[in-house]
Structure 1
Amino acid sequence: MKLTTTVAAIGLLAGGAHAADLGSVDEPIKLAINEWTGQHVSTHVAGSMLEAAGYKVEYTTAGYMNMYQAMADGELHAALEIWSSNVSEDYAKKVDAGGVVELGDLGLDAKEGIAYPAHVADLCPGLPAWEALKDCAQTFTSAETIPMGRLVDYPADWGTPGADRMKGLDLPFKAVPAGSEGALITELRASTEKKSPLLITFWQPHWAMSAYDVQFVELPVGNEECFNDPAWGTNPNATHDCDFAASRIFKAGWSGMADKWPAAYEILTNYQLSVTDQQPMMGAVDVDGGSVEEVVAAWMAANEATWKPVVDAAIQ
């Protein structure tokens, strides 16, 4: 797959960068690797930029919901793709305590929600309106959920946003956590090939949105009252009877990074990645079978004019 520079990717040239000392170049900067391909891509692009600046980088597997203590302790140094709509309370606590600092937005235009492959609208008349699911639940039943419909939710480590919506909207569905991002894709592929019913918690940017013509269910607009006040919305007995909050995707790091690796802190703060660049790389990995390392290396080689000025501004 050819990976080309886009105008949107010029967001990498975010303002405010200036030359800084490299700092402790002999010690590796440890970047968090979470559970989905897009995050791997975002992280490896950032790591490649750090390596181009002269740093050593280690990619460290970390649980998305519980990595912030390690970051506050300086055992993990940065996480490059945190979703505001699905982040643990521990993140805010560590920021308030001073151990973790935010490094700004990543730049991805994001959305999360309850979704289905487009053909499912023929099996559940009334979609995308959420009320249609009340009458179609039996269409989505499985052996493990009878008599309720089946919602394939995020992996358990990512939280339970799908289950929260089924309860909040009082829909007769049981949320079943997927084992991984790959399991979610397997569900989408099988449903599309067999034209079978599927309701799933999903997100964009993701290459599967276009590959499987994924559509979002139209839910009541999400807001703070919905998330905190049961009296708000259609269900007076529950919160989350609404859509997901608008997602902001941002970066965070160990608070000691600015002192230990000043230029690295500068690079990660100014690093951005567009959906138009990330999604093709995700497809090159998950569809075409390339490794994250190979795909990112190809993007870096083809887009030096996009990312190199950020590195140069930090070290020269």
Structure 2
Amino acid sequence: MRKFYLIVFTSMLLLLTACSSGASKDSIKVIKFADAGWDSIRIHNSIAQFIIEEGYGYDTDVTVGTTAATLQALEQGDINVYMELWTDNIKEVYEKAIEKGSIIKAATNFNDNAQGLYVPTYVIEGDKKRGIEPVAPDLKTVEDLAKYPELFKDPEDPSKGRIIGAPSSWVVSEHLETKIKTYGLDESYNYLAPGSDSAIVASLAGAYKKGEPWVGYYWSPTWVTAGYDLTLLEDHPYDEAVWEENKGTEFPPNDVVVAVHKDFPTQAKDVYEFLKNYKTSNELTEEALNFMEENEAEADEAAKWWMKEHEDIWTGWVPEDVAEKVKKALN
């Protein structure tokens, strides 16, 4: 039953779907993963699912929903595993869940990621090969955007610039809106929260192809930050008190963790031991994302390619007998 996707409409729906997994506090038949809507989590899901299905013999499913809905489902046990939980984007909720013991951090997937407001590097440095002159050579920080609203003109309101934000359903969108107000950029810019990640990419790709100025939110690891020459605008050094007050610093260091429901270590002890060893990096994740984009591949195809390329890494996460089963299934 690989990758049977269930759309999350309400937490009640998630509760009902959990009943079909045959889960109890001591056993589980189907291991359910969270898909909160971006490609890297889908790749990590696919890597883990392939190992779990072929190496450990469990069935797996994926439940799709917003970060808030899927995290709530993880707390309730309607989802068992969250392969890419960006802890500081949802710091308060995550820490409360950890404190009350409803979820458990199994491992840090990666912690060398970045996020914030990006511009194409040609905006600052130009691009001689493409005949593009630098139009904002002094643009270095988020606050510097105040000097250049006319460069990033909002086509629907030419009196202001436009900053492309995160999708409105993502918690980080609220952080960005607060940051923009803190720096007074709302006086000269409109903030646009697109409906999806793909809408951000379409906006960036359209501007990049024409060599036009663009400013907006993105993060790494993604094929976008690996494939386009982008510059992350600098911000004030992270300070927890300032961040909590008004988001007037760079984004906090963001441990991206593998988290599981509190009952999972006893429901599937062998898989939990595997997940405790799961560790990648920004670069390793972007390799799979690049393959996915360049080959118009699905996440499970990219996962298999990545596993063939990095056998030395994933075989270190599992016992030798499990690794042999998985290698046999890959070939």
Q: How far apart are residue 255 of structure 1 and its match?
A: 0.3
TM-score w.r.t. length of structure 1:
0.83
Instruction: Tell whether 2:196 aligns with 1:168.
Output: no
Instruction: Tell whether 2:41 aligns with 1:39.
Output: yes
Instruction: Tell whether 2:290 aligns with 1:283.
Output: yes
Q: How far apart are residue 276 of structure 1 and its match?
A: 2.8
**Deviations 1:227-249, CA, capped at 9 Å, x for gaps:** 234xxxxxxxxx12221112221
| Aligned match of 2:241 | 225
| Aligned match of 2:247 | 240
Q: Distance in 2 between matches of 1:221 and 1:300?
A: 37
Cα 1:226/1:32, change in 2 over 3 Å: same
Instruction: Tell whether 2:142 aligns with 1:130.
Output: yes
Of Structure 1 and Structure 2, the greater helix share is in: 2
Q: Distance in 1 between matches of 2:40 and 2:309?
A: 19
Q: Distance in 2 between matches of 1:131 and 1:309?
A: 45
Task: Give the % identical residues.
Answer: 22
| Aligned match of 2:161 | 149
Cα 1:89/1:130, change in 2 over 3 Å: closer
Cα 1:299/1:130, change in 2 over 3 Å: closer
| Aligned match of 1:186 | 202
Q: Distance in 1 between matches of 2:320 and 2:157?
A: 56
**Deviations 1:195-216, CA, capped at 9 Å, x for gaps:** 1121111111222223220101
**Deviations 1:4-51, CA, capped at 9 Å, x for gaps:** xxxxxxxxxxxxxxxxxxx746x1100111211111111211112212
Instruction: Tell whether 2:268 aligns with 1:261.
Output: yes
| Aligned match of 2:301 | 294
Cα 1:101/1:123, change in 2 over 3 Å: same
Cα 1:153/1:30, change in 2 over 3 Å: same
Contact 1:104 1:252 in 2 (8 A): yes
Instruction: Tell whether 2:29 aligns with 1:58.
Output: no
SS at structure 1 position matched to 2:69: coil
Q: How far apart are residue 275 of structure 1 and its match?
A: 2.6
SS at structure 2 position matched to 1:80: strand
| Aligned match of 1:80 | 83
Deviates more, 1:149-158 or 1:66-75: 66-75
- Residue 199 of structure 1 aligns with an amino acid whose one-letter code is V
SS at structure 1 position matched to 2:159: coil
Q: How far apart are residue 283 of structure 1 and its match?
A: 1.3
Specify every segment of 5 or more residues in structure 1 that has no aligned partner in the other structure, as ranges: 1-22, 230-238
- Residue 187 of structure 1 aligns with an amino acid whose one-letter code is S
Cα 1:145/1:40, change in 2 over 3 Å: farther
| Aligned match of 1:105 | 108
**Deviations 1:139-181, CA, capped at 9 Å, x for gaps:** 2121334432111111112121322221111113222112222
Deviates more, 1:255-264 or 1:44-53: 44-53
SS at structure 2 position matched to 1:148: strand
Q: Distance in 2 between matches of 1:65 and 1:175?
A: 22
Which of structures 1 and 2 has the larger relative contact order (alpha carbons within 8 angstroms, sep 6+)? Answer: 1
| Aligned match of 2:227 | 211
Deviates more, 1:173-182 or 1:109-118: 173-182
Q: Distance in 2 between matches of 1:244 and 1:197?
A: 23
Contact 1:169 1:242 in 2 (8 A): no
Q: Distance in 1 between matches of 2:200 and 2:165?
A: 8
Contact 2:64 2:70 in 1 (8 A): no
Q: Distance in 2 between matches of 1:302 and 1:129?
A: 38
**Deviations 1:46-100, CA, capped at 9 Å, x for gaps:** 1122122222111211311232221122110011111133126333222222211
Q: Distance in 2 between matches of 1:304 and 1:129?
A: 40
Cα 1:263/1:176, change in 2 over 3 Å: same
Q: Distance in 1 between matches of 2:254 and 2:101?
A: 24
**Deviations 1:246-300, CA, capped at 9 Å, x for gaps:** 2221111100001111011111111112233211211122232011111212222
Specify every segment of 5 or more residues in structure 2 that has no aligned partner in the other structure, as ranges: 1-25, 125-133, 324-331
Contact 1:112 1:247 in 2 (8 A): no
Q: How far apart are residue 194 of structure 1 and its match?
A: 0.8
